[in-house]
Chains A and B, each alone.
Chain A
Amino acid sequence: MGVHSLRAVLDVGQSVAEHRPWSRAIVTPEIWHLLVEGLAGRTWTLLGLWGETGMVHLAVLEETTGSMGVASLPCPDGQFPSVGRLHPPAQRLERTIADLVGLQPVGNPDPRPWLDHGRWPISQPFGAAMPRTELPSPYSFLPAEGESLHQIPVGPVHAGIIEPGHFRFTANGEAVVRLEERLGYVHKGIESLLDGATLERAARLVGRVSGDSTVAYALAFARAVEAATETDVPARAHWLRALMAELERLANHCGDIGAICNDAAFALMHAHCAVLRERVLRASAACFGHRLLMDCVIPGGVVADLPADGINVLRALVAEFRRQLPPLVDLYDNTASLQDRTVGTGFVRPSLIRQFGCGGVIGRAGSRAFDARRQPGYPPYEQLEFATPVRTDSDVNGRVWLRITEVHQSLKLVEEILERLPPGPARGELRRSGQICEGMALVEGFRGDILVWLRLAADGTVARCHPRDPSWFQWPLLEAAIENNIVADFPLCNKSFNCSYSGHDL
């Protein structure tokens, strides 16, 4: 392996002309195997794996060249060779395909259902859609054997104001021996709601896959639509989108830094960070009419331009951050009791991070210098100067510092965008070809890279759309991060990851 480039491998398949901007090829089982081996051998990184009736799609990234593409394998007899058999990051995605589409991954070592808890009125909603008659059967958690082990079941309803999910801890005294996650509680069937939706409705839905990343999701959706329809967006729209995306990053990173400290019982940081976060939301509402910036990015551009005083509002926001942030950073840096909790806690091996293609703060705090704003990159970031911060400590403390660095960076980006915002319209018309077309986009949200793949029908509605949250490749690493830590440090580890339940459960 390693001798073939991704492009060369996909070129052997039958290229799908209407797929843009990266190639998609219908492949044979032999090419599929080649790709799976390449994933397992770290030549490529898994970007996504999803199904539709009679076919599975595998999106792959070649980090050395930045090229990416999709391989599609027809499954005439309702099954496909498992990717997860050799490449564990694919396992939950395959279990999901089996749940939703009914295609069976042959050889996946974990045949248990994942999102399907046996409570939907139908099974395989994307496949046979058979009415369900049997009662839900209990989920079999993985065993952990040994002397004096005990189990702690937590959730789905948690103690804080957070999303639902179930965590099954097996502990030896205080030390966690195994954590097993069970997710899927907030599965809303978004992919099936997207089937046949108009672009307007689809944009609203995709913008609500994970509310905290609404800008990034709406942007990924818009970019995928624009790729599919070969629409060019006015320059100003690109810059305004980046402005919103950086505001979203600022708000979330700020909230996370405070919340992590709060889980170490250091409420002062939390109180101050929450004030900063609130200021971002208020500035966002003043500039774009929505505190979380929902429904502001649409295919073709952005809904509304900055109002006349918008630049001043945002400059004042940046100035306020510059005043308030440094003492908070010092406080974090100088509070030994806080660092005692965060340093060395929740360590994730960088090799695991690479294997899972784990993005976002978790990835960059663990040596993986990946940022979708740089690779594959999208406007206007190629015209903006910023480095990709990387750390090697890969613990809770490292993830806090990485967020701090990125807050500084986003502040600078906001300033620079305000400075250089090009004139012109903030939205344009979408081209409508009247043909079936497909598009894909990868966008860096505050949590990591969000993939949106879609196919538009000839009438311009959505024929199939698959949004993939960064959490898919982060949740499994939380199970690894908590190993040998004490139960009481779980909230800290969990918060330092801040994975999305809704984004993952779809």
Chain B
Amino acid sequence: MRKLLFQNLWRLPLTVAAPAPSEHALAELGAKVDQAARRRLGRSLAIREVDAGSCNGCELEIHALNNAFYDLERFGFHVVASPRHADVLLVTGPVTANMREALERTYAATPDPKWVVAVGDCGRDGGVFAGGYACVGGVAEVVPVDLHVPGCPPSPMQLLEGLLALLQVQRG
């Protein structure tokens, strides 16, 4: 194990350069996020992920944000285990009828100020699953959404661009 750890000392890091915040995300956020709230959080945002009905593809890419290439934590984001500790809810999937209440309650348990990011084409409007008896639709049908990161699934780079926009707007 020591050898593995040492090797990492002299190997160049795998981490990719930070992408520019997504223009589209900045535009969407600019209109929504309130100035006063922006100043409160400093430079760190706690994220709680909620799968509200996803096919689990979006989760795989959200997971990838934590690998050495994207290293989400270097930007001050970290994933927390409870909505009570969270500033941001990252919500995936078409919201299923069976998950609707759980999403509402998770949102209610998240302290203000809070932001909701709807991830994936499904989070936007239900995606391929829209229209049946079992799905309510996109995340915005159930809780207010501040930012959409579309894609099926969005790549870690796209997720990062969206989250960085959130950080930038939030810093004001």
B57 close to A184 (CB less than 8 A): no
Indicate with 1 or 0, residue by residue over B125-145, a CB within 8 angstroms of chain A CB atoms.
000110111110000000000
How long is the Cα–Cα vector from A331 to B3 in the complex, in angstroms?
A: 10
B1 close to A211 (CB less than 8 A): no
A190 close to B129 (CB less than 8 A): yes
- Residues facing B in A115-145 (CB within 8 A) are 115, 117, 119-122, 125
Across the two chains, which residue of chain B brings its CB closest to A335?
Answer: B1
Contacts of A268 in B (CB 8 A): 1, 4-5
> Whole-angstrom distance from the CB of B128 to the nearest CB of chain A?
6
Give the segment of B26-34, B37-45, B47-55, B160-168 that binds chain A. B47-55
Residue with the greatest number of chain A CB neighbours at <10 A, chosen from B14, B49, B132 = B132
Answer whether residue A185 sits at the interface, using C-beta atoms and an 8 A cutoff: yes
Contacts of A331 in B (CB 8 A): 1, 4
Contacts of B49 in A (CB 8 A): 161
B132 close to A188 (CB less than 8 A): yes
Answer whether residue A36 sits at the interface, using C-beta atoms and an 8 A cutoff: no
Answer whether residue A327 sits at the interface, using C-beta atoms and an 8 A cutoff: yes
B67 close to A278 (CB less than 8 A): yes
How long is the Cα–Cα vector from A208 to B11 in the complex, in angstroms?
A: 38
How long is the Cα–Cα vector from A291 to B153 in the complex, in angstroms?
A: 9
Indicate with 1 or 0, residue by residue over A185-224, a CB within 8 angstroms of chain B CB atoms.
1111110110000000100110011111010000000000
CB < 8 Å: which of B50, B51, B56 contacts A210?
B56
A residues contacting the other copy or chain, number (CB 8 A): 53
Answer whether residue B102 sits at the interface, using C-beta atoms and an 8 A cutoff: yes
> Whole-angstrom distance from the CB of A504 to the nearest CB of chain B?
11
- Residues facing A in B48-72 (CB within 8 A) are 49-64, 66-69
How long is the Cα–Cα vector from A500 to B54 in the complex, in angstroms?
A: 11
Indicate with 1 or 0, residue by residue over A279-301, a CB within 8 angstroms of chain B CB atoms.
00100000000011010000000
Contacts of A278 in B (CB 8 A): 64, 67-69
Across the two chains, which residue of chain B brings its CB closest to A155?
Answer: B102
Residue with the greatest number of chain B CB neighbours at <10 A, chosen from A163, A188, A209, A278 = A188
> Whole-angstrom distance from the CB of B49 to the nearest CB of chain A?
5
Answer whether residue A275 sits at the interface, using C-beta atoms and an 8 A cutoff: yes
Contacts of A187 in B (CB 8 A): 96, 98, 134
B128 close to A186 (CB less than 8 A): no
Across the two chains, which residue of chain A brings its CB closest to B102?
Answer: A156
How long is the Cα–Cα vector from A151 to B3 in the complex, in angstroms?
A: 44
How long is the Cα–Cα vector from A294 to B5 in the complex, in angstroms?
A: 35
Answer whether residue A8 sits at the interface, using C-beta atoms and an 8 A cutoff: no
How long is the Cα–Cα vector from A186 to B95 in the complex, in angstroms?
A: 8
B4 close to A185 (CB less than 8 A): no
Across the two chains, which residue of chain A brings its CB closest to B82?
Answer: A159
How long is the Cα–Cα vector from A411 to B30 in the complex, in angstroms?
A: 47
How long is the Cα–Cα vector from A111 to B4 in the complex, in angstroms?
A: 54
A186 close to B54 (CB less than 8 A): yes
> Whole-angstrom distance from the CB of A167 to the nearest CB of chain B?
14
B4 close to A184 (CB less than 8 A): no
How long is the Cα–Cα vector from A184 to B102 in the complex, in angstroms?
A: 13
Contacts of B101 in A (CB 8 A): 119
Across the two chains, which residue of chain A brings its CB closest to B100?
Answer: A119
- Residues facing A in B62-102 (CB within 8 A) are 62-64, 66-69, 79, 81-83, 93-94, 96-102
Indicate with 1 or 0, residue by residue over A27-46, a CB within 8 angstroms of chain B CB atoms.
00000000000000000000
How long is the Cα–Cα vector from A294 to B127 in the complex, in angstroms?
A: 14
Across the two chains, which residue of chain A brings its CB closest to B48?
Answer: A157
A192 close to B53 (CB less than 8 A): no
How long is the Cα–Cα vector from A186 to B102 in the complex, in angstroms?
A: 11
Contacts of A184 in B (CB 8 A): 98
A186 close to B60 (CB less than 8 A): no
B56 close to A119 (CB less than 8 A): no
How long is the Cα–Cα vector from A159 to B106 in the complex, in angstroms?
A: 12
Contacts of A185 in B (CB 8 A): 53, 96, 98-99, 102
Interface residues of chain B, those whose CB is within 8 Å of chain A, are 1, 3-5, 14, 49-64, 66-69, 79, 81-83, 93-94, 96-102, 106, 128-129, 131-135, 152-153, 155
Could you pull out 17 A-B pairs where Cβ atoms are within 8 angstroms? A117-B97, A161-B63, A163-B51, A184-B98, A185-B102, A189-B129, A189-B133, A189-B134, A193-B132, A204-B128, A209-B55, A211-B54, A211-B56, A274-B64, A275-B69, A502-B55, A502-B56
